[in-house]
Amino acid sequence: MTKPFALDPRDRELFRQSVGPVKPLRCDRIDPIPSHPAPIPRFTRADERRVLDDMLSDYFEPAELDTGEELYYRAEGVQQAVLRKLRRGQFRVGAALDLHGMTVVMAREALAGFLRAARRESLGCVRIVHGKGNGSRHRGPVLKQKLNHWLRQRDEVLAFCSARSVDGGTGAVYVLLRRI
């Protein structure tokens, strides 16, 4: 071990004269070093990877052909077989909502209330009639397009698809709900 360096008393005095009077600091105001690194956006990166994988995938399901009239969606983690069963009408429909004649605002409120009630009653599958847009003239099926968008945003919606012709066909959807 080496001995600590000792200053000559003359050097110490010379230093004090050079520096001048010193006043102790109460706060040095140095920003603390962040204790944690910035979070990694795992879910965003996973979504981007999934989109890229889907774009490069050769997977083709003939039942998923989009004719422009049929609606279908399945959330991540929901098996394709579940969507097939839903499209065949193999789930028992617990309740139905008819949006015919409603404005967009009225339909959105009715949908939100209907889905809340369906969750409270632990319903697994419901039917929503949106119509085919025949009364919308040149604008096409407004509520159908809105419903397609709204349902995709809801966490409780696992999947949905256009109903069988006996239940309204492309003017209605079956909606599979997540159980509480």
Distances (CA, A) of 41 to 44, 48, 67: 5, 11, 36
Q: 11-40, pLDDT tens digit by residue?
A: 888 988 888 888 877 776 666 666 777 777
**Closest residue by Cα to residue 86 from 74, 68, 77, 99:** 74
Helix (H) or strand (E) holding 95: strand 95-98
Helical residues (DSSP H) of 21-167, grouped into ranges: 42-56, 80-87, 104-120, 142-153
Question: What is the CATH class of 80-170+176-180?
Answer: alpha beta
How is the chain split into domains, by residue range?
80-170+176-180
Do residues 117 and 128 make contact, with C-beta atoms less than 8 angstroms apart? no
Asked if residue 79 has pLDDT above 90, the reply is yes
Q: 91-135, pLDDT tens digit by residue?
A: 999 999 999 888 889 999 999 999 999 999 999 999 999 987 666
Say what the pTM is.
0.60
Do residues 108 and 128 make contact, with C-beta atoms less than 8 angstroms apart? no
